[in-house]
């Protein structure tokens, strides 16, 4: 595979624009095998432009926005399922087949579902009331074992407002991660323990102020964990923690973490073949969708271009958005397998943590105590 495949995604700039994507800053060494920087972009993220184009062509998509009440019983059912499973394994040895298979097959899938329920709720898509959504996210958090829903919301909304912005988008790997894990073994380690990277990285990029909701999240989680410990025992509580770890490890559903925004070489080549006029009106993609069966367990998070284009459209209506505005999505590169994504990410020497689009300017923090626009000196091309 060619080493500079991303050049295929460069949009034609106007006379007043800087080149949107600096391939030199994503250069490869002479042997074509080792990256030394991310892909740096000088245009705004593509979703705002595509959203405006879709609304102009299909104003009816705005009727799809708003809460989805079905989220509420689904979350409660999965929480109940996890409590039942914790009871089922409470007398099992921690590393027994009964414990591990239940934690991997049911627990990890269920907790990945709850991760993405919290993701959905962070966009106020369960209730009309923002406060009700925040409180309900704490309920969804309970079987995860560790309080995080209150912190996830501001970091995630900042990810939407500041996609790819260095120093704001905590979904982006740091340069240290990308350099240190730039090998097959390093990427395998990252995929195995990626839940820890996603949990710890945000706090190292910037800190958000603690609020009453954080205190409630922590208090509710400790109370729940203590209750489980007293009623079912330590193995039951360990089941929740192990389920959360496996959900963000080498699990089929965990492939979405990498699939959503990492640039794979085949995507750049497919971008050359975009045929429809609608697809040519918008900037090249840096978000990638997946339309496979695992969306059933993950609140359709695979429809990630659709989600970033319209974060106010809930999971049950994303397919309808794709149907209505299909000409904007049918030619965009996408993934066909989350398992395949993880496998290629680990094995392919041209794919790694460097394969993310970054930008130095734009965006803003959400719920982080400052609303100022983020601006840094423009990156100088090497």
pLDDT band at residue 374 under the 50/70/90 scheme: very low
CA nearest to 81, candidates 98, 104, 106, 105: 106
**Mean pLDDT across the stretch 23-36?**
39
**125 touches 312 (CB < 8 A):** yes
| pLDDT for residue 281 is more than 50 | no
Of the pLDDT bands very low, low, confident and very high (cuts 50, 70, 90), residue 42 is confident
CA count, 13 A, side-chain hemisphere, 246: 19
Averaged over 343-369, what is the pLDDT?
A: 87
Q: Is the pLDDT confidence value at 375 over 80?
A: no
Q: What is the pLDDT of residues 83-105, one digit of tens each?
A: 999 999 999 999 999 999 999 99
Displacement of CA 28 from its chain's centroid (Å): 27
DSSP 8-state secondary structure symbol assigned to residue 9: G
pLDDT, position 44: 86
CB proximity list for 68: less than 8 A, separation 6 or greater:
120, 125, 126, 314, 315, 316, 317
Q: With bands split at pLDDT 50, 70 and 90, how would you rate the model's confidence at 29?
A: very low
Q: What is the pLDDT of residue 371?
A: 43
Residue pair 60/176 in contact by the 8 Å Cβ criterion: no
Residue length, the chain?
Answer: 382
**H or E stretch including 199?**
helix 194-205
pLDDT > 90: what percent of the chain? 75
pLDDT tens digit sequence for 67-81: 999 999 999 999 999
Residue 323, pLDDT > 80, answer yes
What value, to the nearest 5°, has the Cα angle with vertex 289 and ends 145 and 266? 120
Residue for token digits 């989805």?
68
pLDDT 10s digits, 164-211: 999 999 999 999 999 999 999 999 999 999 999 999 999 999 999 999
- Residue 233 phi, psi dihedral angles, 5° rounding: 105, 175
Q: What is the pLDDT of residue 368?
A: 55
pLDDT of residue 36: 55
DSSP 17-85: SPPSEEGGGG-B-TTS--B-S-EEE-S--HHHHHHHHHHHH-GGGGGG-S--TTHHHHHHHHHHHHHHH
Q: Which two tokens stand for residue 319?
A: 């397919």
pLDDT in tens, 139-171: 999 999 999 999 999 999 999 999 999 999 999
Number of Cβ atoms within 10 Å of the Cβ of 98: 12
User: pLDDT-derived band of residue 17, with 50, 70 and 90 as boundaries?
Assistant: very low
- Kindly tell me if the per-residue pLDDT of 3 is higher than 90: no
Mean pLDDT of the chain: 86
Chain centroid offset of residue 337 CA: 16
Q: Note whether 41 and 356 are within 8 A (CB).
A: no
**Is residue 224's pLDDT more than 50?**
yes
- The residue ranking higher by pLDDT, 173 or 375, is 173
- Residue 337, pLDDT score: 97
347: helix, coil or strand?
helix
Residue 7 has pLDDT above 80, yes or no: no
């Amino acid at each position: 595979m060619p080493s500079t495949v991303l050049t295929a995604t460069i949009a034609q700039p106007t006379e007043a624009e800087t080149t949107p994507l600096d391939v030199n800053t994503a250069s490869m060494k002479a042997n074509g095998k080792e990256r030394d920087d991310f892909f740096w972009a000088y245009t705004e993220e593509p979703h705002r432009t595509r959203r405006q184009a879709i609304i102009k062509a299909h104003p009816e998509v705005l009727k799809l926005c708003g809460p989805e009440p079905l989220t509420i019983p689904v979350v409660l059912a999965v929480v109940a399922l996890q409590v039942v499973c914790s009871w089922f394994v409470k007398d099992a040895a921690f590393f027994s087949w009964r414990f591990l298979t239940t934690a991997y097959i049911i627990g990890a899938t269920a907790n990945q579902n709850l991760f993405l329920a919290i993701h959905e709720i962070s966009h106020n898509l369960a209730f009309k009331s923002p406060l009700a959504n925040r409180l309900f996210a704490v309920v969804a958090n309970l079987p995860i074992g560790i309080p995080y829903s209150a912190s996830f919301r501001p970091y995630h909304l900042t990810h939407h407002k500041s996609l790819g912005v260095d120093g704001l988008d905590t979904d982006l790997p740091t340069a240290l991660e990308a350099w240190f894990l730039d090998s097959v073994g390093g990427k395998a380690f990252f995929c195995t323990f990626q839940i820890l990277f996603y949990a710890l990285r945000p706090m190292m990029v910037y800190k958000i102020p603690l609020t009453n909701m954080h205190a409630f999240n922590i208090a509710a989680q400790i109370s729940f964990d203590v209750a489980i410990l007293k009623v079912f025992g330590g193995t039951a509580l360990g089941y929740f923690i192990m389920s959360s770890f496996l959900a963000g490890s080498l699990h089929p559903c965990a492939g979405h973490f990498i699939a959503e925004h990492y640039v794979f070489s085949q995507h750049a080549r497919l971008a050359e073949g975009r045929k429809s006029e609608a697809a040519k009106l918008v900037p090249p993609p840096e978000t990638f969708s997946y339309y496979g069966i695992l969306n059933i367990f993950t609140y359709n998070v695979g429809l990630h271009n659709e989600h970033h284009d319209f974060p106010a459209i809930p999971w049950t209506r994303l397919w309808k958005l794709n149907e209505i505005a299909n000409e904007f999505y049918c030619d965009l590169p996408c993934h066909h397998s989350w398992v395949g994504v993880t496998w290629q990410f680990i094995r392919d020497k041209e794919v790694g943590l460097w394969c993310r689009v970054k930008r130095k300017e734009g965006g803003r923090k959400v719920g982080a105590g400052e609303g100022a626009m983020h601006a840094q000196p423009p990156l100088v091309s090497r």
